[in-house]
Amino acid sequence: MATGITIGVKMFVFNRFAIVGSVGFLTDASTFYFLVNHAFIVIDWARVIAFIIAMVITWLGNRYFTFTAVNKEKVSVQFIKHTCCALFGFSINFLIFQGLVSMKINLAIAFILAVLAAMASNFFISKHLVFTNN
């Protein structure tokens, strides 16, 4: 049974994850917007490029801000795990994004809904598989 302290610690970690995720989201969204509207890169490629940049930002944030208490693993191993987690989340994100865009949903709304849909799985995988004491 979880105590108030345990729940408080979990919320603290989740809040930090949400902060890092917000920074990643802003990075992702602003990069995507710039690439589509100013660099004139096609939507699919802009989505992939923006994702990669945001993935590196969120890994750094989660490693050095969110999950600092469990940072015992080699950087390279943890980055590979994070990349796999992020690719899984991105596949959810991208499929939802493509589906909504094909339904003629506003591009910004499709982007936001797709990102939010992937957040829960990313947190669970990050907490239990990427940023662990193993």
- Per DSSP, 40 falls in state -
Check: pTM over 0.85? Answer yes or no. no
Instruction: Give the range among 18-27, 32-41, 124-133 with minimum mean pLDDT.
Output: 124-133
Average pLDDT score, the chain? 88
Helix, strand and coil in the chain, % to nearest 5: 85, 0, 15
pLDDT digits (tens, 9 = 90+) for 78-134: 899 999 998 998 898 889 999 999 999 998 899 888 888 888 788 888 888 888 876
Domain boundaries of the chain, sorted by first residue? 4-130
* Alpha-carbon distance values, 125 to 36, 97, 101, 130 (Å): 30, 21, 27, 7
